[in-house]
Structure 1
Protein backbone atom coordinates (compact mmCIF):
# COMPACT_ATOMS: atom_id res chain seq x y z
CA UNK A 1 0.00 0.00 0.00
CA UNK A 2 1.38 3.42 -0.93
CA UNK A 3 1.18 6.52 1.20
CA UNK A 4 -1.17 9.31 0.06
CA UNK A 5 0.50 11.60 -2.45
CA UNK A 6 3.05 8.95 -3.50
CA UNK A 7 0.90 7.22 -6.12
CA UNK A 8 2.28 7.06 -9.64
CA UNK A 9 1.39 10.19 -11.72
CA UNK A 10 -0.81 8.19 -14.11
CA UNK A 11 -2.91 6.87 -11.23
CA UNK A 12 -3.27 10.32 -9.66
CA UNK A 13 -4.33 11.76 -13.02
CA UNK A 14 -6.91 9.02 -13.60
CA UNK A 15 -8.27 9.46 -10.06
CA UNK A 16 -8.41 13.23 -10.54
CA UNK A 17 -10.31 12.85 -13.82
CA UNK A 18 -12.88 10.54 -12.21
CA UNK A 19 -13.27 12.95 -9.30
CA UNK A 20 -13.74 15.88 -11.68
CA UNK A 21 -16.29 13.92 -13.73
CA UNK A 22 -18.26 13.02 -10.59
CA UNK A 23 -18.25 16.67 -9.46
CA UNK A 24 -19.43 17.79 -12.91
CA UNK A 25 -22.09 15.06 -12.87
CA UNK A 26 -23.38 16.25 -9.50
CA UNK A 27 -23.49 19.90 -10.62
CA UNK A 28 -25.36 19.00 -13.81
CA UNK A 29 -27.95 17.01 -11.85
CA UNK A 30 -28.37 19.94 -9.43
CA UNK A 31 -28.68 22.42 -12.33
CA UNK A 32 -31.31 20.21 -14.01
CA UNK A 33 -33.44 20.23 -10.85
CA UNK A 34 -32.99 23.97 -10.39
CA UNK A 35 -34.08 24.58 -14.00
CA UNK A 36 -37.30 22.68 -13.34
CA UNK A 37 -37.84 24.67 -10.14
CA UNK A 38 -38.51 21.76 -7.82
CA UNK A 39 -36.87 18.62 -6.50
CA UNK A 40 -38.95 15.55 -7.33
CA UNK A 41 -38.03 11.93 -7.97
CA UNK A 42 -38.86 12.41 -11.65
CA UNK A 43 -36.63 15.47 -11.92
CA UNK A 44 -33.85 13.67 -10.08
CA UNK A 45 -34.06 10.69 -12.44
CA UNK A 46 -34.25 13.01 -15.47
CA UNK A 47 -31.23 14.92 -14.18
CA UNK A 48 -29.23 11.73 -13.65
CA UNK A 49 -29.99 10.54 -17.19
CA UNK A 50 -29.43 13.93 -18.82
CA UNK A 51 -26.16 14.52 -16.98
CA UNK A 52 -24.93 11.08 -18.02
CA UNK A 53 -25.79 11.73 -21.68
CA UNK A 54 -24.17 15.18 -21.61
CA UNK A 55 -20.94 13.89 -20.09
CA UNK A 56 -20.84 10.89 -22.42
CA UNK A 57 -21.47 12.68 -25.71
CA UNK A 58 -20.18 16.18 -24.84
CA UNK A 59 -17.21 15.59 -22.56
CA UNK A 60 -16.04 18.64 -20.70
CA UNK A 61 -12.42 19.71 -21.09
CA UNK A 62 -10.31 18.97 -18.04
CA UNK A 63 -10.04 21.92 -15.67
CA UNK A 64 -7.16 21.66 -13.26
CA UNK A 65 -7.33 23.17 -9.81
CA UNK A 66 -4.17 23.27 -7.75
CA UNK A 67 -5.16 26.02 -5.35
CA UNK A 68 -6.89 26.15 -2.04
CA UNK A 69 -9.77 28.16 -0.63
CA UNK A 70 -8.64 31.15 1.45
CA UNK A 71 -11.29 32.47 3.85
CA UNK A 72 -9.73 35.94 4.16
CA UNK A 73 -9.57 36.28 0.36
CA UNK A 74 -13.20 35.15 0.11
CA UNK A 75 -14.32 37.81 2.60
CA UNK A 76 -12.37 40.54 0.78
CA UNK A 77 -13.70 39.36 -2.59
CA UNK A 78 -17.30 39.23 -1.36
CA UNK A 79 -17.25 42.65 0.26
CA UNK A 80 -15.52 44.29 -2.73
CA UNK A 81 -17.96 42.59 -5.12
CA UNK A 82 -20.97 43.94 -3.22
CA UNK A 83 -19.48 47.46 -3.18
CA UNK A 84 -18.72 47.32 -6.94
CA UNK A 85 -22.16 45.91 -7.66
CA UNK A 86 -23.91 48.74 -5.81
CA UNK A 87 -21.64 51.42 -7.32
CA UNK A 88 -22.05 50.08 -10.87
CA UNK A 89 -25.83 49.73 -10.46
CA UNK A 90 -26.10 53.33 -9.28
CA UNK A 91 -23.94 54.49 -12.19
CA UNK A 92 -26.04 52.62 -14.79
CA UNK A 93 -29.25 53.89 -13.16
CA UNK A 94 -27.96 57.48 -13.33
CA UNK A 95 -27.15 57.06 -17.02
CA UNK A 96 -30.61 55.61 -17.67
CA UNK A 97 -32.50 58.52 -16.11
CA UNK A 98 -30.21 61.39 -17.11
CA UNK A 99 -32.07 63.31 -19.82
CA UNK A 100 -30.25 63.86 -23.09
CA UNK A 101 -27.10 61.95 -22.10
CA UNK A 102 -25.78 59.38 -24.58
CA UNK A 103 -23.03 57.22 -23.06
CA UNK A 104 -20.05 56.16 -25.16
CA UNK A 105 -19.13 52.50 -25.02
CA UNK A 106 -15.98 50.60 -25.89
CA UNK A 107 -14.78 47.05 -26.28
CA UNK A 108 -11.40 46.46 -24.70
CA UNK A 109 -9.14 43.44 -24.82
CA UNK A 110 -7.61 42.48 -21.49
CA UNK A 111 -4.88 39.85 -21.38
CA UNK A 112 -5.08 38.02 -18.06
CA UNK A 113 -1.88 37.32 -16.19
CA UNK A 114 -3.03 33.78 -15.36
CA UNK A 115 -4.69 32.41 -18.52
CA UNK A 116 -5.98 29.11 -17.11
CA UNK A 117 -9.44 27.93 -18.11
CA UNK A 118 -10.71 28.25 -14.55
CA UNK A 119 -9.39 31.79 -14.14
CA UNK A 120 -10.76 32.88 -17.53
CA UNK A 121 -14.19 31.44 -16.72
CA UNK A 122 -14.44 32.87 -13.20
CA UNK A 123 -13.20 36.33 -14.20
CA UNK A 124 -15.58 36.42 -17.17
CA UNK A 125 -18.54 35.31 -15.05
CA UNK A 126 -17.94 37.87 -12.31
CA UNK A 127 -17.43 40.67 -14.87
CA UNK A 128 -20.72 39.77 -16.53
CA UNK A 129 -22.55 40.06 -13.20
CA UNK A 130 -21.50 43.70 -12.74
CA UNK A 131 -23.80 46.19 -14.53
CA UNK A 132 -22.02 48.18 -17.23
CA UNK A 133 -19.59 45.42 -18.22
CA UNK A 134 -20.22 42.42 -20.42
CA UNK A 135 -17.95 39.76 -21.89
CA UNK A 136 -18.15 39.85 -25.68
CA UNK A 137 -15.59 37.17 -26.49
CA UNK A 138 -12.93 35.04 -24.84
CA UNK A 139 -9.71 34.10 -26.64
CA UNK A 140 -8.84 30.98 -24.70
CA UNK A 141 -5.50 30.33 -26.42
CA UNK A 142 -4.15 33.85 -25.81
CA UNK A 143 -5.87 34.33 -22.43
CA UNK A 144 -7.68 37.49 -23.53
CA UNK A 145 -11.10 38.69 -22.42
CA UNK A 146 -12.90 41.15 -24.70
CA UNK A 147 -15.04 43.30 -22.43
CA UNK A 148 -17.79 45.75 -23.41
CA UNK A 149 -17.55 48.76 -21.09
CA UNK A 150 -20.33 51.33 -20.72
CA UNK A 151 -19.78 55.09 -20.39
CA UNK A 152 -16.16 55.47 -21.51
CA UNK A 153 -15.04 59.08 -21.36
CA UNK A 154 -11.53 58.81 -22.80
CA UNK A 155 -8.25 56.88 -22.81
CA UNK A 156 -7.88 57.21 -19.05
CA UNK A 157 -11.22 55.42 -18.57
CA UNK A 158 -10.00 52.56 -20.77
CA UNK A 159 -6.84 52.21 -18.67
CA UNK A 160 -8.96 52.28 -15.51
CA UNK A 161 -11.25 49.56 -16.89
CA UNK A 162 -8.26 47.33 -17.69
CA UNK A 163 -6.85 47.91 -14.21
CA UNK A 164 -10.23 46.96 -12.69
CA UNK A 165 -10.27 43.67 -14.64
CA UNK A 166 -6.73 42.86 -13.46
CA UNK A 167 -7.69 43.75 -9.87
CA UNK A 168 -10.70 41.42 -10.13
CA UNK A 169 -8.46 38.65 -11.48
CA UNK A 170 -6.07 39.15 -8.54
CA UNK A 171 -8.93 38.99 -6.00
CA UNK A 172 -10.24 35.75 -7.55
CA UNK A 173 -6.79 34.16 -7.40
CA UNK A 174 -6.46 35.35 -3.78
CA UNK A 175 -9.59 33.29 -3.03
CA UNK A 176 -8.78 30.01 -4.81
CA UNK A 177 -5.31 30.21 -6.34
CA UNK A 178 -2.17 28.32 -5.43
CA UNK A 179 0.79 30.14 -3.91
CA UNK A 180 2.58 30.15 -7.29
CA UNK A 181 -0.50 31.57 -9.04
CA UNK A 182 -0.83 34.21 -6.36
CA UNK A 183 2.80 35.28 -6.86
CA UNK A 184 2.22 35.39 -10.62
CA UNK A 185 -0.76 37.77 -10.45
CA UNK A 186 0.87 39.96 -7.81
CA UNK A 187 4.23 40.34 -9.57
CA UNK A 188 3.46 39.44 -13.18
CA UNK A 189 3.63 42.25 -15.72
CA UNK A 190 0.42 43.84 -16.89
CA UNK A 191 0.35 44.04 -20.70
CA UNK A 192 -0.07 47.79 -21.20
CA UNK A 193 0.55 47.81 -24.96
CA UNK A 194 -2.37 45.51 -25.75
CA UNK A 195 -5.04 47.46 -27.72
Structure 2
Protein backbone atom coordinates (compact mmCIF):
# COMPACT_ATOMS: atom_id res chain seq x y z
CA UNK A 1 0.00 0.00 0.00
CA UNK A 2 1.41 3.39 -0.99
CA UNK A 3 0.78 6.85 0.40
CA UNK A 4 1.08 8.35 3.86
CA UNK A 5 -1.29 7.64 6.67
CA UNK A 6 -2.54 10.98 8.04
CA UNK A 7 -2.32 9.71 11.58
CA UNK A 8 1.29 8.54 11.47
CA UNK A 9 2.75 11.73 13.01
CA UNK A 10 4.61 12.80 9.86
CA UNK A 11 6.47 16.09 9.61
CA UNK A 12 3.33 18.03 8.73
CA UNK A 13 0.95 16.26 11.11
CA UNK A 14 -0.38 17.52 14.43
CA UNK A 15 1.92 15.24 16.39
CA UNK A 16 4.92 17.19 15.16
CA UNK A 17 3.36 20.47 16.32
CA UNK A 18 2.60 19.04 19.77
CA UNK A 19 6.17 17.77 20.13
CA UNK A 20 7.46 21.14 18.90
CA UNK A 21 5.49 23.02 21.54
CA UNK A 22 6.63 20.57 24.21
CA UNK A 23 10.23 21.05 23.12
CA UNK A 24 9.91 24.82 23.28
CA UNK A 25 8.38 24.65 26.77
CA UNK A 26 11.21 22.34 27.85
CA UNK A 27 13.85 24.71 26.48
CA UNK A 28 12.19 27.68 28.21
CA UNK A 29 12.08 25.77 31.51
CA UNK A 30 15.79 24.88 31.20
CA UNK A 31 16.63 28.53 30.44
CA UNK A 32 14.69 29.72 33.50
CA UNK A 33 16.44 27.09 35.61
CA UNK A 34 19.88 28.31 34.58
CA UNK A 35 18.91 31.95 35.18
CA UNK A 36 17.65 31.05 38.67
CA UNK A 37 20.92 29.25 39.40
CA UNK A 38 23.02 32.20 38.22
CA UNK A 39 20.84 34.63 40.21
CA UNK A 40 21.36 32.67 43.44
CA UNK A 41 25.10 32.32 42.80
CA UNK A 42 25.40 36.07 42.28
CA UNK A 43 23.64 36.67 45.62
CA UNK A 44 25.95 34.15 47.25
CA UNK A 45 23.27 32.09 49.01
CA UNK A 46 20.26 29.93 48.25
CA UNK A 47 17.13 31.19 50.02
CA UNK A 48 13.42 31.00 49.26
CA UNK A 49 13.45 34.73 48.53
CA UNK A 50 16.32 34.42 46.06
CA UNK A 51 14.67 31.38 44.47
CA UNK A 52 11.36 33.21 43.97
CA UNK A 53 13.15 36.36 42.78
CA UNK A 54 15.20 34.31 40.31
CA UNK A 55 12.09 32.65 38.89
CA UNK A 56 10.32 36.02 38.46
CA UNK A 57 13.40 37.65 36.95
CA UNK A 58 14.12 34.72 34.63
CA UNK A 59 10.53 34.64 33.41
CA UNK A 60 10.55 38.41 32.84
CA UNK A 61 13.80 38.19 30.87
CA UNK A 62 12.40 35.50 28.56
CA UNK A 63 9.09 37.34 28.10
CA UNK A 64 10.29 40.93 27.60
CA UNK A 65 13.74 40.26 26.13
CA UNK A 66 13.25 37.19 23.95
CA UNK A 67 16.46 35.63 22.68
CA UNK A 68 16.99 33.40 19.66
CA UNK A 69 15.77 29.87 20.46
CA UNK A 70 18.48 27.69 21.98
CA UNK A 71 17.63 24.01 21.68
CA UNK A 72 18.97 21.55 24.24
CA UNK A 73 20.01 18.56 22.13
CA UNK A 74 22.18 16.87 24.73
CA UNK A 75 21.45 14.70 27.72
CA UNK A 76 22.15 15.01 31.42
CA UNK A 77 24.96 12.78 32.70
CA UNK A 78 25.02 12.44 36.52
CA UNK A 79 28.72 11.60 36.67
CA UNK A 80 29.62 14.54 34.42
CA UNK A 81 27.41 16.89 36.45
CA UNK A 82 29.08 15.76 39.68
CA UNK A 83 32.57 16.26 38.20
CA UNK A 84 31.59 19.73 36.95
CA UNK A 85 30.11 20.74 40.33
CA UNK A 86 33.11 19.52 42.34
CA UNK A 87 35.66 21.14 40.04
CA UNK A 88 33.65 24.37 39.98
CA UNK A 89 33.68 24.56 43.79
CA UNK A 90 37.42 23.78 43.88
CA UNK A 91 38.17 26.46 41.26
CA UNK A 92 35.93 28.93 43.11
CA UNK A 93 37.71 28.44 46.44
CA UNK A 94 41.18 28.44 44.89
CA UNK A 95 40.52 31.60 42.86
CA UNK A 96 38.94 33.37 45.85
CA UNK A 97 42.01 32.68 47.98
CA UNK A 98 44.30 33.85 45.17
CA UNK A 99 42.40 37.12 44.65
CA UNK A 100 42.27 37.72 48.42
CA UNK A 101 46.04 37.23 48.67
CA UNK A 102 46.61 39.76 45.88
CA UNK A 103 44.31 42.26 47.60
CA UNK A 104 46.18 42.16 50.92
CA UNK A 105 49.74 41.77 49.65
CA UNK A 106 51.54 45.10 50.22
CA UNK A 107 53.05 46.76 47.17
CA UNK A 108 52.04 44.04 44.72
CA UNK A 109 50.57 45.28 41.43
CA UNK A 110 49.01 42.44 39.40
CA UNK A 111 49.13 42.50 35.62
CA UNK A 112 46.10 41.54 33.58
CA UNK A 113 45.57 40.25 30.06
CA UNK A 114 42.77 39.38 27.67
CA UNK A 115 42.95 35.98 26.01
CA UNK A 116 40.85 34.80 23.08
CA UNK A 117 39.77 31.17 23.03
CA UNK A 118 37.73 29.58 20.26
CA UNK A 119 35.39 26.92 21.61
CA UNK A 120 35.36 23.53 19.93
CA UNK A 121 31.60 22.92 20.26
CA UNK A 122 30.12 25.93 18.50
CA UNK A 123 26.58 26.10 19.83
CA UNK A 124 24.86 29.03 21.53
CA UNK A 125 24.14 26.93 24.61
CA UNK A 126 27.75 25.87 25.05
CA UNK A 127 28.90 29.44 24.45
CA UNK A 128 26.54 30.79 27.13
CA UNK A 129 27.21 28.09 29.74
CA UNK A 130 30.99 28.28 29.36
CA UNK A 131 30.97 32.08 29.58
CA UNK A 132 28.76 32.03 32.70
CA UNK A 133 30.82 29.36 34.46
CA UNK A 134 34.06 31.26 33.81
CA UNK A 135 32.67 34.65 34.87
CA UNK A 136 31.45 33.28 38.21
CA UNK A 137 35.03 32.42 39.22
CA UNK A 138 36.94 35.38 40.74
CA UNK A 139 39.84 36.64 38.65
CA UNK A 140 38.28 35.70 35.29
CA UNK A 141 35.68 37.72 33.42
CA UNK A 142 34.27 37.33 29.91
CA UNK A 143 34.49 40.78 28.31
CA UNK A 144 33.38 39.93 24.77
CA UNK A 145 31.90 37.10 22.75
CA UNK A 146 32.16 36.47 19.01
CA UNK A 147 29.13 34.33 18.29
CA UNK A 148 30.00 33.75 14.63
CA UNK A 149 33.30 32.04 15.45
CA UNK A 150 32.32 30.87 18.98
CA UNK A 151 35.23 32.80 20.49
CA UNK A 152 35.35 33.95 24.11
CA UNK A 153 37.51 36.89 25.17
CA UNK A 154 38.43 36.44 28.81
CA UNK A 155 40.02 39.04 31.12
CA UNK A 156 42.51 37.22 33.33
CA UNK A 157 43.98 38.65 36.53
CA UNK A 158 47.60 38.29 37.67
CA UNK A 159 49.44 37.33 34.48
CA UNK A 160 53.21 37.31 35.02
CA UNK A 161 54.59 35.18 32.19
CA UNK A 162 53.57 33.70 28.83
CA UNK A 163 52.88 30.35 30.49
CA UNK A 164 50.07 32.03 32.46
CA UNK A 165 48.35 32.90 29.17
CA UNK A 166 48.58 29.29 28.04
CA UNK A 167 47.22 28.15 31.42
CA UNK A 168 44.28 30.58 31.09
CA UNK A 169 43.41 29.17 27.66
CA UNK A 170 43.62 25.62 29.02
CA UNK A 171 41.30 26.61 31.85
CA UNK A 172 38.68 27.80 29.36
CA UNK A 173 38.99 24.56 27.36
CA UNK A 174 38.77 22.48 30.55
CA UNK A 175 35.56 24.24 31.62
CA UNK A 176 34.08 23.71 28.16
CA UNK A 177 34.99 20.02 28.26
CA UNK A 178 33.41 19.49 31.68
CA UNK A 179 30.21 21.23 30.54
CA UNK A 180 29.95 19.11 27.39
CA UNK A 181 30.65 15.93 29.33
CA UNK A 182 27.89 16.92 31.76
CA UNK A 183 25.10 18.05 29.41
CA UNK A 184 26.35 17.65 25.84
CA UNK A 185 25.15 15.23 23.20
CA UNK A 186 27.06 12.08 22.30
CA UNK A 187 28.18 13.69 19.03
CA UNK A 188 29.48 16.76 20.90
CA UNK A 189 31.45 14.60 23.34
CA UNK A 190 33.01 12.70 20.43
CA UNK A 191 33.84 15.95 18.64
CA UNK A 192 35.50 17.34 21.76
CA UNK A 193 37.64 14.26 22.31
CA UNK A 194 38.61 14.12 18.63
CA UNK A 195 39.73 17.77 18.62
CA UNK A 196 41.49 18.39 21.96
CA UNK A 197 43.36 21.53 20.90
CA UNK A 198 41.85 23.84 18.32
CA UNK A 199 43.92 26.62 16.80
CA UNK A 200 43.85 30.02 18.45
CA UNK A 201 42.03 32.85 16.67
CA UNK A 202 44.33 35.28 14.94
Q: TM range, normalised to the smaller chain?
A: 0.7 to 0.9
Match of 1:188 among 160, 177, 195: 195
Which residue of 90, 97, 111 corresponds with 2:104?
A: 97
Partners of 2:181 and 2:192 in 1: CA distance: 9
1:123 to 120, 130, 135: 130
Query: Does 1:140 find its partner at 2:147?
Result: yes
Q: Is the 8 A contact 2:140 2:157 kept in 1?
A: yes
- Could you tell me which residue of structure 1 aligns to residue 42 of structure 2? none
* TM-score, normalised via structure 1 length: 0.78
More deviation, 104-113/19-28: 19-28
* 2:118 is the alignment partner of 1:111: yes
Give 1:59 shift: 2.7
Task: Tell me the alpha carbon deviations over residues 106-160 of structure 1, each in whole angstroms, 9 at most, x when there is no partner.
Answer: 0111100012111011111110111110010111111011100000112111011
Deviating above 4 A after TM superposition, structure 1's stretches of 4 or more consecutive aligned residues are 21-31, 53-57
- Count matched residues: 183
Q: 1:98 to 1:61 in 2, by over 3 A?
A: same
Alpha-carbon distance change, 106 to 56 in structure 1, aligned in 2, over 3 angstroms = closer
Q: Which residue of 1 aligns with 2:11?
A: 8
Identify if the C-alpha distance between structure 1 residues 156 and 181 changes in structure 2 by more than 3 Å, giving closer, same or farther.
same
> What is the SS of the residue equivalent to 2:149?
coil
User: How many angstroms does 1:20 deviate by?
Assistant: 3.2
Q: TM-score, normalised by structure 2?
A: 0.76
SS in 1 for 2:192: helix
What CA RMSD, in Å, does the superposition of the two structures yield over aligned residues? 3.3
Q: Distance in 2 between matches of 1:166 and 1:23?
A: 24
Distance 2:51 2:95 in 1: 35
